[in-house]
Structure 1
Amino acid sequence: MTAHHKRFVNVMALGNFFEIYELFLTSVLLSTLKNTFSLNGLTLSLFLASTVVGSFVGAVVVGRVADRIGRRGAYMITLSLYSAGTIACACAPNIWTLIACRFVIGIGLGGELPVTDSYLADILPPARRGYYAARAYTCAHVAVPVVGVLGLLLVDKAPLGVAGWRWMFAIGSLGALLTFFVRRGLPESPRWLETVGRSAEADRVTAVFEKAAEAEGWRPPPAPTKGEAIPPAVEKSLPVRALFRAPLARRTALMALLWALGPIGYYGFHNLATLALEAKGFDLGSSLTFMTLSLLGSPIGSYLSMHIVDRAERKWILCVALTAMAVIGLAYGYAQSPVMITALGFCFTVVTNIKTNATHIYQLEQFPTSLRTTANGWLFSLNRLSSAAAPFYLIPLFYGAGVGAVFIVGAAAILLAAIAVGFGVRTSGLSLENITTASRPEDAPTGLIPSPPTRATTRKP
């Protein structure tokens, strides 16, 4: 792991920052936009759904595009859509324009995450893949307090005669444009270049990484001896139907269950928490205070994940985090005292962010290069669909059967996801060649893993 790798991780983190910025922008501006455009039941629903639907489309379409034209090209597409849509939102004259622009933004956001995950998988070395991927996600969570502070400073004001909500959209657009220019310096993934037969370009990109390692005092691994097994020079390009055939079919099914069931568990907490607290007799001010204190666990959980994901097997980290979410969420649903509600809410948020980062890292390791972004995009789209569907059955359940029933259903869904992940493959510390070419990566021949580099005793000048 060199400074060259770290620079690209920081670029990924910058893009993720503005993705999180946009996701939380809606909740901060919703009340203001509702009053500004006189949103009623239909227009309010369309406004809230527009980004989710766009995100679903982006995850499905851009994910496949990234496996056809490359990671770097897909990045430019997602950032262009996001930037154009966000600046158009800042200038929107009416609600219908705003809804259309939010749909375009959603396409960019939906494609951004699968491409980011695939790029990180392609360039990060096995031993530190989890830590630096989690670091990219953790940096992005800084956007949550940034959006909150900007909301306090701008929402009810009109600097230079322009409404504060328009300024907040414009800031997001300028940030995306900055990311666009920074990402122009990203190299294409050498793994992807190999799969499409552009070996000379792949070698040029890899040579830059090798020179960066040598400049930091690392020696290259020894050449393989006669008869020693080495990785194939070119990873086989696979058709999309391979995702639904052995050995990938089981991985596709297990990850689909994880992405589809996850939102059922955390939707009840994050989206219905204020309603649940109101049903317990707390006023709105107290409910918002409890939620604010609980959300402080978001960056803390994400930071903790950095120091956990490479220390144990990823699938077991996921199983433990999911089980903890189920237990804590169920206890939160029945808690009555303010202290217990706040403490359990904080703990739930911490383990949720550990689970979220571990999920992304575990998934980016599951699939071969030629299908990695396609699979990531399709699976992420299930998360969008599940999130969009959750209110249509959880809210009626809440009003019909009460707070406890919502959290029981959520806990059951999360526990089922934990059981499914327990049947997944091992990935921690293994090369992508081992993970993607063997039904049981831990049983793959050790010769498929190249000899590691060694650190020189003296650094080169």
Structure 2
Amino acid sequence: MADTASTTGTAAVLDRLPVTGWHWRLTVLVGLGSFFDLYEVFLGGVLAPVLATEFGLGSTGKALVIAAGFAGMFVGANVLSVVADRLGRRRVFILNLLVYSLFSLAAAFSPNIETFLVLRFIAGIGLGAELVLVDTYLAEFVPGRVRGRMTAWAYTVGFLGVPLAALLGGKLVAKQELFGIDGWRWLLVFGGLGAVFVLLVRAMLPESPRWLESVGRDAEAWSVVRSVVAKVAPGTAVPEEPGPARTREDARGVGEVLRIAFRDYRRRSVMLVVFQILQTVAYYGFGTLAPLVLVAKGFEVTDSLGYAALSFAGYPLGSLASVPLVERFERKYLIIASALGIAVFGIVFAAASTVVLIVAAGFLLTAVSNVFSNAFHIYQAEIFPTAIRSTASGVAYSLSRATSVVLPFIAVPLLGSLGPVAVFTGSAVLIVVLCLDVGLLGPLSTGLSLEEVRGNAATEQ
């Protein structure tokens, strides 16, 4: 399958541009949207122990609180990532946050647990394709030589939402009520109202020229490129007319995309499917279970959320640390090394009995988790061509959300019956399998243009 942007087309122009304030503003605007996805992902673990008291929930009820948002994200990742390849990146960026903000605000006023779960599910649908679109959009706009670094910066902005979720959770739960409204409900109000602001700002984003070319809208693609060039490199010559016609293969549905992916990009497709099923255990396992693990160790809910907030500070700091690493080291090897770090620090956290060691291990785990996360988000956006990039990455990524739905129903009961050490040791075994998968089947991508990464697929068949 030929990619939609040739080395002499809009892709070449975008890749040659100097990195300026325009690129950084774009990165921040995209990263602000990921803030709410990541805030929401970890909010389930924060709310579970609180709502267990509020609504008298057992282990199944707590698992449902965590799983509801992930179930919606699974649906959204499958549906909205496909829509993004059909209708464009910009439109779905706006649709994502619109759905999330409306239903997050509605969930804040849920009268019972049943209503809460339904509204959390629908809000999750809105965020399902958010991170896939962050990866896709930046990969298609940012020059290849700094693609990893700038994507890592976008996620650094986004990951500020994780410790904030735990910190706000601890403060608001301790207050119980604020202006006559339960503290936990304010956590949802904050997410919904913040998303409305980002939604308004995101309306200013341009459409991806690579996507416009992929659907035959060449004149519009070059119009966007000329607009960008005028802002970042005035005076740079840009072709007035589109170049020679390119070979296209438009994917019209999930089935067609999967056929192309497993025919032309077989090894990397198999690698990504296996990876996404397992990466949830490595990444989301700690974030969603940490408050429950701390309660299981005998800490009060408010104390556990405070300790979790300290541990979760590793998420934005680890993301910041990844900025130089994602360009200096080959992405696939960085994924493997950081995943092994998650396994080790996870077992230490589970076995720790003192507050200092618990917080230290949790902090190191979350820090290395975001080296892992940023590396794989950059990686998954690099390994498929533009015409199927969002759909192929989104369908694979949805598997991680599906695993996230199932994980609480396995991990929460096991946490109660076998204890934290057994749960995190089991996770470590699965992480080793993940490392073998990436090491044996994953392609090299660091520093290459999207078209070069795509072209390397011929050697994998």
TM-score range, shorter-chain basis?
0.7 to 0.9
**Alignment-derived partner of residue 178 in structure 1:** 197
Q: Are 1:242 and 1:248, in contact at CA under 8 Å, matched by a contact in 2?
A: no
State the SS of the aligned residue for 1:309: helix
Q: Structure 1 residue 125: deviation in Å?
A: 0.8
Residues 1:237 and 2:253 aligned together: no
Pair 168,414 (structure 1): closer, same or farther in 2 beyond 3 Å: closer
1:284 aligns to 2:302 (yes or no): no
SS of the residue 2:444 aligns to: coil
Deviation at 1:411, TM superposition (A): 1.8
Q: Which of 107, 112, 121 is 1:103 aligned to?
A: 121
| Partner Cα separation in structure 2 for residue 127 and residue 197 of structure 1 | 27
Cα distance in 1 for partners of 2:33, 2:77 equals: 16
Q: Is residue 426–residue 440 contact of structure 1 (8 Å, CA) maintained in 2?
A: no
Q: Provide the residue aligned with 1:296 in structure 2.
A: 313
- For residues 185 and 290 of structure 2, the distance between their equivalents in structure 1, rounded to whole angstroms, comes to 29
Q: Which residue of 2 aligns with 1:168?
A: 187
Matched, 1:352 2:356: no
Q: Which residue type is aligned with residue 329 of structure 1? A: G
Residue of structure 1 aligned with 2:398, choices 374, 381, 397? 381
Give the TM-score normalised by structure 2.
0.83
Deviations 1:85-136 (A, max 9, x none): 0121233333333222111101011121212221111111101100110111
Q: What's the counterpart of residue 129 of structure 1?
A: 147
Residue 23 of structure 2: aligned partner: 5
2:71 matched residue in structure 1: 53
Quote how far apart the aligned CAs of 1:206 are: 0.7
Deviates more, 1:87-96 or 1:157-166: 157-166
Equivalent-residue separation in structure 2 for 1:434 and 1:267 (angstroms): 32
Counterpart residue number, 2:426: 409
Q: 1:157 to 1:261 in 2, by over 3 A?
A: closer
After TM superposition, the score normalised by the length of structure 1 is 0.83
For each residue in 1:117-167, what CA deviation from the matched residue of structure 2 results, as whole angstroms up to 9, or x when unmatched? 211111111011001101111111112343344335544354443333333
CA contact (8 A) 1:86 1:172 kept: yes
- Which ranges of structure 2 fall in alignment gaps of 5 or more residues? 1-18
* Conserved 8 A contact 1:195-1:234: no
- Is 1:196–2:196 an aligned residue pair? no
Runs of 4+ aligned structure 1 residues displaced above 6 Å come to 274-279, 286-289
**Structure 1 residues 342 and 21 mapped into 2: Cα distance closer, same or farther (>3 Å)?**
closer
Cα deviation, residue 175, structure 1: 1.2
What SS does the corresponding residue of 1:197 show, helix, strand or coil?
Answer: coil
1:447 is aligned to none
Is contact 1:265–1:409 with CA below 8 Å preserved after alignment? no
CA distance in 2, matches of 1:75, 1:21: 17
Question: Residue 371 of structure 1 is aligned with which of 379, 384, 388?
Answer: 388
Correspondent of 1:319 among 336, 345, 348: 336
Amino acid at match of 1:162: I
Superposed, which structure 2 residues align to 1:141-160 within 5 Å? Answer: 141-155=159-173, 156-160=175-179
What SS class does the counterpart of residue 110 from structure 2 fall into?
coil
Which one-letter code corresponds to 1:356 in the other structure? S
Alpha-carbon spacing, 1:98–1:113, altered in 2? closer, same or farther (3 Å): same
User: Is the CA contact (8 Å cut-off) linking 1:119 and 1:189 kept in structure 2?
Assistant: yes
Equivalent residue, structure 2, for 1:80: 98
2: CA distance, partners of 1:270 / 1:322: 15
Rounded Cα–Cα distance in structure 2 between residues aligned with 1:330 and 1:434 = 39
Letter paired with 1:164: G
Verify the 8 A CA contact 2:283 2:373 in the aligned structure 1.
Answer: no
Cα separation, partners in 2 of 1:177 and 1:72, compared to 1, 3 Å? same
Count of residues in correspondence between the two structures: 432
Computed over aligned residues only, the root mean square deviation of the Cα atoms, in angstroms, reads 3.2
2:452 maps to 434
Give 3-state SS (helix, strand or coil) of 2:426's partner. helix
Equivalent residue for 2:206, pick from 183, 187, 195: 187
Whether the aligned pair in 2 keeps the contact of 1:332 and 1:345 (CA below 8 Å) is yes
Letter in 2 for 1:373: S
Label 1:201 to 1:21 Cα distance change in 2 as closer, same or farther (>3 A).
same
Check whether the contact 2:162–2:312 (CA below 8 A) recurs between aligned residues.
Answer: no
Tell me by how many angstroms 1:41 deviates.
6.2
Aligned residue number for residue 264 of structure 1: 281
Q: Aligned-pair distance for 1:358?
A: 0.5
Match of residue 115 from structure 1? 133
Counterpart CA distance in 2 for 1:337 and 1:37 is 31
- SS of 2:195 mapped into structure 1: helix
- Checking the alignment, whether the CA contact within 8 Å between 1:265 and 1:407 is kept in structure 2 is no
Tell me, in whole angstroms, the C-alpha distance in 2 between the residues paired with 1:54 and 1:127. 35
Determine the C-alpha separation between the residues in 2 that align with 1:56 and 1:169.
Answer: 20
Query: In terms of Rg, which structure is larger?
Result: 1
Equivalents in 2 of 1:276, 1:94: separation in Å? 25
8 Å Cα contact 1:2/1:212 also seen in 2: no
Following the alignment from structure 2 to structure 1, what is the Cα–Cα distance between the partners of residues 292 and 56? 23
Deviation at 1:276, TM superposition (A): 6.2
Distance 1:124 1:132, change over 3 A: same
SS where residue 327 of structure 2 aligns? coil
Superposition deviation, residue 20 in structure 1: 2.2
CA distance in 2, matches of 1:211, 1:127: 21
Q: Distance in 1 between matches of 2:145 and 2:109?
A: 47
2 CA distance for matches of 1:413 and 1:284? Answer: 29
Give the superposition deviation at 1:278: 7.8
Single out whichever of 285-294 and 338-347 deviates more from structure 2. 285-294
SS at match of 2:128: helix
Query: Could you say what secondary structure the match of 1:5 adopts?
Result: helix
Question: Structure 1 residue 171: deviation in Å?
Answer: 2.5
Cα pair distance change 1:413/1:70, threshold 3 Å? same
Aligned partner of 1:311: which letter? R
Aligned to 1:457: none
